[in-house]
Amino acid sequence: MIILGIDPGTRFCGYAIIKKENGSIFLLECDCLKLGAQKPMPERLYIFANRFEFLVKKWEVTDVSLETPFLGKNAQNFLKLGYVCGILYFLAQKYKINIHEFSPREVKLSITGSGGASKDQVSYILYKLFPRLQPGLRDDATDALAVSLCGVWANRMQRFLHQ
């Protein structure tokens, strides 16, 4: 199983790719795609789509884990995140990939045991789990890694429940 975890964004988009094999989890890639606030939205979406299609093919991704956007103070941002999610749904369908969605609260709860944990607390746990993780990553990248772990654990639970 190879999971692509994504913390979606229209300026910065965190992503992490992990592999689960024989009960172990390996980090393959973890970074942040910088889309640039100065570029028009269609150009950013094009860059986003190309990058994630490349990653899906390169790593032969089997599952996508996505942090669901929430409606904050700016409905326009929420709408733009919907465009990004639409691209991910399209890629998942095109490449026959399972897609899992988690709220920010679910991600924090599964990583730290508290749904109200801070980003620093989540990062701390991830750096303990993956000591070779590049120091100084943007929160978007570590959030994506947390989301990808949720995908692994959710998959394990689904298999357990369907036995």
Q: What ranges do the domains of the chain cover?
A: 2-161
Active site residue 140: yes
Q: Which residue has the higher pLDDT, 90 or 157?
A: 90
Which letter does DSSP use for residue 23 in this model?
T
Q: For residue 136, what pLDDT is reported?
A: 79
Indicate the pLDDT class of residue 149, thresholds 50, 70 and 90: very high
Q: Is 67 a catalytic residue?
A: yes
Contact 14, 141 (CB under 8 A): yes
Residue 7 known to be catalytic:
yes
pLDDT tens figures, 5-43: 999 888 899 999 999 999 889 999 999 999 988 999 999
Closest CA to 140 of 10, 27, 42, 41: 10
Q: Which of 7, 63, 101, 143 is catalytic?
A: 7
pTM above 0.95, yes or no: no
CA separation for the pair 163, 51 (Å, rounded): 36
- State the CATH architecture for 2-161: 2-Layer Sandwich (3.30)
pLDDT at 163 over 60: no
% of the chain residues with pLDDT over 90: 53
